[in-house]
Structure 1
Amino acid sequence: MTEQTQRGSSFVLEVWGEYGCFTRPELKVERMSYPVITPSAARNIFDAIYLEFDPRTRRPAHRWEISRIEILEPVRYVALMRNEVKEKISVPSVRRWMKDPAQLVPILADATKDEVGTDTKGRTQRQTMALKSPRYRIFGHAVLFEEDGALRQKIERSFERRARRGQCIFQPYLGCREFAAAFELVTGTPAVPVPHDEEVGWMLYDVFDLSRPGANTDAPHISLFRASIRGGVLEVPPYHSAAVRKPGGT
């Protein structure tokens, strides 16, 4: 499929939660959040409300592109110590256990330790520098992979209806799944962004190739852009612009 760049209606969501963590990839061992939500995390919130799939390919018929993020609460950090799992159950393992329950090997939270007392399996403690009470106003619009007027109308009407009602396919979250997010469709007079200026530097744009319909088996396709917050506003460039760096220099 070839992505069409026609732009339809733009939607504005106000999103907030108790905590948020949008991890800088260069500081992955001990999680350190960006000062603002990333475009990929914002896109995921739009996906949670509505995402249309192509019945022929069973892949997304469109994607949500984020154009602007406004910070509505002061940027505040909080240090958290969390237990994180070191393993996850694989699909092949589950299938083997379904055929032969005797092969079941559970993942234990408190597992064996090596000679120096380090957990070899199970869980590990990690420091997280998260955001406290983040609140954002996010602007986004649908980009169809094959432009179709009737399909665009269906996507935009369905999204607006579900967002107004607070409906979602899965619980939106702010970076980490345990940091649940609330949302509402902005229709009235918006609040003024907080006066925050910061040169963020290279910021994660997305982890998928947004130029084509993706699948959950796709390999990572990391894209980055230079983020600059001015007056509490982060302007996000279009994915296909030269401002977004992608693998291969595309």
Structure 2
Amino acid sequence: MTQHPPPGRTFVLEVWGDYGCFTRPELKVERMSYPVMTPSAARNIFDAIYLEFDPQTRRPAHRWEIRRIEILEPVRYVALMRNEVKEKISEPSVKKWMKDPSQLVPILADATKDEVGTDTKGRTQRQTMALKSPHYRISGHAVLFEEDGALRQKIERSFERRARRGQCIFQPYLGCREFAAAFELVAEQPVVPPIPHDEEVGWMLYDVFDLSRPGSRNDAPHISLFQANIRGGVLEVPPYHSADVRKPGGH
């Protein structure tokens, strides 16, 4: 895998938490985590700190591309039983209920057939094989959809300022929203080396969105994958546009 110098600055974050779960899609019914954070989960942490939007289109003006994920704590799994909801309230339903409250049909977590005329409950219990005390060092840089020197400078300065202060737009998390993540900007050369861990992970989720263009909340899923190999506790991530990343349609 050939690594090319990225445009602009590369930022390094340390992220950690009590638990993490980066679900393997082939084991979706019972949640089974990858042994390491996925690039999309790492990108989401960068997004939580700062993401610039185009004032005209109100879509992202850039994306964060992750190039390196280092494992700083041993990979340890823990089995958890979690309650998950089976459905969610739709936006059209909310608007209908606002116009006519008598049409409200609640989603009850422990509903029975006598209450709502159905045999299913609103929640289900699933086994989760999560990671315990995950701790990573992730490196990423901004990729602008239209390169602009002044805009790049604004994005990089804003991200650095917010990351130094521990500010975020929303609480970062490690795969699942209930697994909150703490973060810290690494300003100097790291002194803690990655753990000695080697593993052939196989196909790993790269991202669920089309990163070649600005996205919107209504975009359909656009799954991309890559062959992940951990060497010396480090997962090297190829650029999204490289041939190492498999995308829908073979692009």
Under TM normalisation by the shorter chain, which class is it?
over 0.9
Q: State the 1:101 CA deviation.
A: 1.1
Q: State the 1:188 CA deviation.
A: 3.1
User: What is the match of residue 111 of structure 1?
Assistant: 111
User: What is the match of residue 246 of structure 2?
Assistant: 245
Give 1:7-156 correspondences, 5 Å limit: 7-112=7-112, 120-156=120-156
**Distance of 1:119 and 1:135 partners within structure 2:** 42
What's the TM-score, normalizing by structure 2?
A: 0.94
User: What is the match of residue 204 of structure 1?
Assistant: 205
Q: State the 1:58 CA deviation.
A: 0.6
What's the TM-score, normalizing by structure 1?
A: 0.95
Structure 1 residues 236 and 167: alpha-carbon distance in aligned structure 2, compared to 1, 3 A threshold: same
* SS of aligned partner of 1:194: coil
Residue segments in structure 2 that go unaligned for 5+ positions in a row? none
User: What is the match of residue 232 of structure 2?
Assistant: 231
User: What is the match of residue 165 of structure 2?
Assistant: 165
Q: State the 1:100 CA deviation.
A: 1.1
**Distance of 1:187 and 1:73 partners within structure 2:** 20
User: What is the match of residue 176 of structure 1?
Assistant: 176
**Distance of 2:50 and 2:94 partners within structure 1:** 29
Structure 1 residues 121 and 12: alpha-carbon distance in aligned structure 2, compared to 1, 3 A threshold: same
Structure 1 residues 113 and 18: alpha-carbon distance in aligned structure 2, compared to 1, 3 A threshold: farther
Q: CA RMSD in A?
A: 1.4
* Residue identity matched to 2:143: V
Structure 1 residues 187 and 6: alpha-carbon distance in aligned structure 2, compared to 1, 3 A threshold: closer
Structure 1 residue runs of 4+, over 4 Å off? none
Q: State the 1:156 CA deviation.
A: 0.2
How many correspondences in the alignment? 243
Identity %: 88
- Decide whether the 8 Å contact of 1:172 with 1:181 is kept in 2: yes
Task: Show CA shifts across 1:6-40 (max 9, x none).
Answer: 71000000000000000000000000000000000
Task: Show CA shifts across 1:121-141 (max 9, x none).
Answer: 311000000000000000000
- Decide whether the 8 Å contact of 2:6 with 2:141 is kept in 1: no
- Decide whether the 8 Å contact of 1:206 with 1:224 is kept in 2: yes
- Decide whether the 8 Å contact of 1:87 with 1:121 is kept in 2: no
